[in-house]
Structure 1
Amino acid sequence: MSRHMRTGDAEALRPLLLAGDHLPSELDSDEGEIIFDRSASNIKREAGGSANRRLTYEEAVEEAGFGLFHWLLLVVCGWANASDAVEILCVSFLLPTARCDLLLSSSDMGLLTASIFLGMMVGGYMWGYLADQRGRRRVLVVSLTVNGVFGALASVAPWFWLFLLLRFISGIGVGGSIPVIFSYFSEFMPRLRRGAMISALATFWMAGNILAAGLAWLVIPRTWARFSLGKLDFQSWRLFVVLCSVPSLTSALLFGLLMPESPKFLMEAGREKEAIHVFRLMFELNMKGRGKAFPEFGLCTSSRQRGELEEYGTWGSCRERLASVLKKGLEPMKQMFRGSLKSRSITLLIIFYCISFSYYGLWMWFPELFARVEDGGSPCANVSLPSPLRNQSCYPVKTAVYVEGFVVAASNLPGNIFTILVMDSTGGKALLSCSLVVSSLSVFLIYVVQTRDQSLLLSCVFSGVSVIAWNALDVVGTELYPTQLRSSALGFFTGVGRVAAITGNVVFGKLVDTNCAVPVLLVSALLMTGGLVALLLPQTRQTELT
């Protein structure tokens, strides 16, 4: 029972909460927890007071309306999503020039592109678990700050190993913000608009992609951006790295200064007064200028308490406390693979691995592949011996590489618009499966074609279609798990995706010089596998968040 709940409220709900065996649970019975009881909605208060009814989360969201607050939320969360895209993809754009200054082989470039994904793998589940326990907003502020600060510091790293380490730490921050942003955003959305709005949020990844490509195009080829910083020759690509950290830092400030905590999380934590305050803020912004008064109501908060983590510091040895924390931290993962959640978790695991290996393995190498077809031909036709550590052809920088990267990034737009328009009517499952299958065919044709223009066209098709799969996966992932598992689950699956992304980049780095066909055809096969496995997921169209 919420510690904020008045005596009358407690008396009204005590019979319902004590009769746990007769209440519908949002999880299987073996998980032993009731998220919230929908049957408690609209209970009249016996002790009087300001609220004469009690609402579930979905009912309270509907009462708060839809309008200005949600569009402001979309902009703030979207900018954070774009900042993650910039931080991840900036490495791919600096490879053609940074390889000269850092003396990189193709294998080194594979490690560099993999480093941020290794950090995301480490940070994904950790931040997701903390977000489920401590709140979405706090974790977003910290993770975005880690991302921006260490991303900027990487710009002055004089050695490859230090640059690699700083990119890894930056990746830890990215690993927290990506899954938590979608959990946080979805928990403000009314049910009938959730699919379209999450799709709109995912569209900002394209904006970040375009921003990264545009910055690379404007900054890296320019000689004015090069100067000496002590003993460090500060090349234009280093300035590009600094600029790529700005979106993350500004996002951290926006969340820290402007945004409230998720009302769904507050209800699950039993913090009724704080949740009502957030709903009031939503209502006042959404109804601004309409002269409507905020309807007074109470909330059906969870009977669970979230004070477990504090208990570990009060008893036992350091080893016992550490064991307790680890056991508690692994509990969400156990719940994900138990009962009715088991099959969907295994299915999502396969899909995340297939799409992450394929998308990031191919996407991070697009600028390098385009550089290899500068004089015409397909990406795998101009395979040569491994490039030397110092390749003088890096300078002057060929701007066509960045122009093509910008075009491919912009080709996401049709897929994003299509997703926004049809997500709520079609559902994420069908879009996910179809887009993965079409993406598979486009990658196969990239290998088959023989001209530079055909390679660019099919790369644009891959970009525009694969983004539909990512958007659908963002929607489905938030709707398949209850609130106390949502961020942990998304963090876990993004961690799985990072393992796949690391594998994909290492495979490309090892084989792109000697046998380019193997990674390209492997990408096509994995996308096809993911598309077929997606048919096993349950339909979640316009479902209520639990």
Structure 2
Amino acid sequence: MTSKSDTKQSGRGDVGSNSIVNITSSNEDKDRIYTYAEAINLAGNGCYSLGLLATLSVCTLAMGVDMFGFSVVVSGCTCDFGLDISQTSVLLSMPFVGPIVMAYPWGYISDTQGRRRSLLIAMWVSFVVSTIGAFSPNWVVMAVLKFISTSLCSCAQSASYTLLGESCAERARDAYMLIMTSVLDFSLAAYVVVAYFILNLDFSYDMGLITFTPWRLLALALALPLGIGAFGTLFFYESPKFLVNVQREDEAVENLRKMWMRNNGRGDKYPVKKIILNEIGNERRKDVSLVQSLWEQIVPLFKPPLLWKSIMLYFFTAVIFSTNNSYFIWFPYLAEKFAAGLDSMTHSDETGLCNMIVSNNNVTAANYECKSTMDISLVWASLAQGVTFVIIMLVITKLAYRKKALMIIIMTFSGLSAIAAALVKDNLTSFVMFFGLLTNELCIGIIYTYFVDMYPTSYRGMAACIGVMVARLSALGGVNVLGAFIMTHCTTMFYACGALMLVAAVFSFLLPPDIRKK
């Protein structure tokens, strides 16, 4: 028979055994090494992630407003500075030249000093320079200051996407990228609406060296988002993935723990203590000269196994920005010509977009009068474009995990719309097709998601910044080609843009397959 004492001893033995198991399990959890994907997913998706999305969206919106909103500032200062066509072209080129010059340095700073640090430097200094630019005494000083300002704030396009992509849970990352792009899509409506209310004011204050008129107030207003974005970035942390990559693992874990807390993390404590990146091709040598470091930062992007990825992504970048940005910066001018032509024609006069723009341009050129105000029709057109694009973007965030399919569909639709804009003779329908051409901007967020997905951490910032350089070079070329030929070969320009985007749609089939949603 079994005695009570034996039973008690047996019970004590069971308790001791469970304690040993618990201690062992606890030690195993403490010593476990997590991949970065596991660590960032455990940090969760909540207040911190949403706040970071909002702040970085402001940064990208500020960049868009500073770069493209400069077109309405130039329109406002034309009379004050007595600008001719060549001087106007130089001014409008500055927002594209600056990012081309600084893309490589920003890529190096982002990959070696941090995403957040590069973003803070860029946004703060750009805010100061843009503010000073509002008091430019002549167009030459304005051009130089805009060159400096946009060369700095252009960092936001690569650093913001990289910081967001590395600092939010994988399940939310693609959708967040697209949401941030939708905010950038609204930049045209944002600066046009602000410009309408400010440029139509009537005041003039003599300040000695300069006369303070509405366009200077507009320049100050458009610089403000840069400061707001810079200030908001102060409340967020450096990318933990960057910190792990530069052997600052303790800081990375601490940042992840803080992110977990601000995301209303569940459980007693954040479990991650040790992290590995588990990435191929992520090596970086230390103790090398600056020149050698710069060289080693860019060469791997154009050598196997990254070569084909670079060719594909930079080709898509060139196609999107050369077609989209060129028509985007000309949009206020084309919309104004179209609206004026629509008012002067009867309903039966169906000529199509190109014929209306060209014929109305010839009429207005003969009766030109310098004015700095803005017509309400441009506001309505810009709002229609912005609201439509934001709604479309928010809808497709539900399909964010189908990046490849979205690229194919959007580029095909944009290409067909460009061709239809030149073919269709109904005035209103052809202008709607012009909006369809601009939808390829929706692919920008997808492209930067691929930059995060397809490159190792050590080269991701550089790859994205070289993408910015390719984007601005393409945009600069597109703006000048479109400006030179839109009035003489309008239909041909639309056909060429459509064909280029259809080619890009075909190449999109070579992108990595989509990961099925679990």
Matches for 1:54-69 after TM superposition, within 5 Å:
54-69=33-48
Q: Deviations over 1:147-204 (max 9, x none)?
A: 2222222222232222221111111112212101111111112222221122122222
Q: Deviations over 1:75-123 (max 9, x none)?
A: 1111111111211220233454433333334444333222111111122
The answer for unaligned runs of 5 or more in structure 1 is 1-43, 313-323
Structure 2: distance between partners of 1:359 and 1:284: 41
Match of 2:65 in 1: 86
Q: Deviations over 1:389-413 (max 9, x none)?
A: 9942535532322332232222212
Match of 1:282 in 2: 259
Letter in 2 for 1:409: G
Q: Secondary structure of 2:236's partner?
A: coil
Q: CA deviation at 1:510?
A: 2.3
Letter in 2 for 1:459: F
- Counterpart among 318, 328, 332 of residue 353 in structure 1: 318
- Counterpart among 235, 242, 246 of residue 265 in structure 1: 242
> Is residue 416–residue 468 contact of structure 1 (8 Å, CA) maintained in 2?
yes
Structure 1: distance between partners of 2:57 and 2:235: 15
Q: Deviations over 1:216-258 (max 9, x none)?
A: 222222224x433324233322211211111111211222x31
Cα distance change, pair 296–340 in 1 and its aligned pair in 2 (3 A): closer
2:461 matches 1:520: no
Q: CA deviation at 1:434?
A: 1.8
Structure 2: distance between partners of 1:228 and 1:379: 43
Match of 1:192 in 2: 171
Structure 2: distance between partners of 1:457 and 1:387: 23
Q: Secondary structure of 1:365's partner?
A: helix
Q: CA deviation at 1:540?
A: 5.2
Match of 1:477 in 2: 451
* Amino-acid identity (%): 22
Match of 1:100 in 2: 79
Q: CA deviation at 1:388?
A: 7.3
Letter in 2 for 1:336: L
Match of 1:328 in 2: 293
> Is residue 68–residue 285 contact of structure 1 (8 Å, CA) maintained in 2?
yes
Q: Secondary structure of 1:299's partner?
A: strand
Cα distance change, pair 291–493 in 1 and its aligned pair in 2 (3 A): closer
Q: Secondary structure of 2:356's partner?
A: coil
Structure 2: distance between partners of 1:458 and 1:218: 28
Match of 1:441 in 2: 416
Structure 2: distance between partners of 1:531 and 1:93: 33
2:139 matches 1:160: yes
Structure 2: distance between partners of 1:216 and 1:453: 25
Q: Deviations over 1:336-359 (max 9, x none)?
A: 121121112111121111111100
Match of 1:369 in 2: 334
- Counterpart among 534, 543, 546 of residue 508 in structure 2: 534
Cα distance change, pair 475–342 in 1 and its aligned pair in 2 (3 A): same
Match of 1:18 in 2: none
Structure 1 runs (4+) deviating above 4 angstroms are 301-307, 384-391, 449-452
Match of 2:94 in 1: 115
Structure 1: distance between partners of 2:147 and 2:179: 29
Match of 1:17 in 2: none
Deviates more, 1:91-100 or 1:238-247: 91-100
> Is residue 111–residue 458 contact of structure 2 (8 Å, CA) maintained in 1?
yes
Match of 2:19 in 1: none
Structure 1: distance between partners of 2:85 and 2:426: 24
Structure 1: distance between partners of 2:400 and 2:292: 38
With the length of structure 2 as denominator, give the TM-score of the two structures: 0.85
Letter in 1 for 2:461: S
* RMSD between superposed Cα atoms in Å: 3.0
Aligned length: 481
Match of 2:386 in 1: 409
The answer for unaligned runs of 5 or more in structure 2 is 1-22, 343-352
2:105 matches 1:126: yes
Q: Deviations over 1:405-453 (max 9, x none)?
A: 23222221222112211112x2x12211221121122222333345653
Structure 2: distance between partners of 1:206 and 1:511: 26
> Is residue 132–residue 485 contact of structure 1 (8 Å, CA) maintained in 2?
yes
Q: Deviations over 1:258-296 (max 9, x none)?
A: 1111000111111111011111101111226x6633325
2:292 matches 1:292: no
Match of 1:242 in 2: 220
2:483 matches 1:505: no
Match of 2:304 in 1: 339
Letter in 1 for 2:176: M
Letter in 1 for 2:212: F
Letter in 2 for 1:69: Y
Q: CA deviation at 1:371?
A: 1.9
